[in-house]
Homo-oligomer: A and B are copies of this chain.
Amino acid sequence: MRNRRIGFAHERELAVKLWRKGFAVIRAPASGSKTKRIVYPDIVAIKNGYVLAIEVKTTHGEKPIYIPAHQVQKLKEFIKRSGGEGFIAVKIIGSGEWRFLKIDNLVKTRRNNYKVDKELLTKSYRLSDLIAIVAGNKRLDDYLD
């Protein structure tokens, strides 16, 4: 319960950051009030028709983050319908920095879940990259590999 509330505080922080950068932003209702038939990302941010569907995670930096397959599935379903891109947003506790991973670039585990390790995190986008991509100044593929 406490963890869930801390999770909300991070979501809210990211939502406000994106709003300040000119995005239209909407956060999903708390789990309890979700309509079971509909899947929501944690945050949807939109700018000039460019849709970002985002799940929010936190890390202290060293241990990999595991993401259940159903959360990635949820993002994929949302972007299939809306158009746009799916991202995992990671708040790095300590530095306070946010990093963004495109869901296509996640590493699949043997149990069919997904993993973000330290190396992948190093190659991920910063908020400024994301904003440049949405503004059309850069392409997503210019960043990775």
Contact = CB atoms under 8 A, between A and B. Distances in A.
Interface string A3-47: 000001000100110010011111111100101011011001011
Contact of A49 (B22, B27, B38, B82): B82
Interface in A73-97: 77-79, 81-84
Q: Is the interface of A mostly helix, strand, loop or mixed?
A: mixed
A129 to B, nearest CB: 20
- Which of A24, A29, A47 is most buried by chain B, counting CB atoms within 10 A of its CB? A24
A46 B51 contact: yes
B83 A22 contact: no
Contacts of A137: none
By Cβ-Cβ distance, the 6 closest A-B pairs, closest first, are: A24-B82, A46-B82, A24-B81, A49-B83, A49-B49, A29-B29
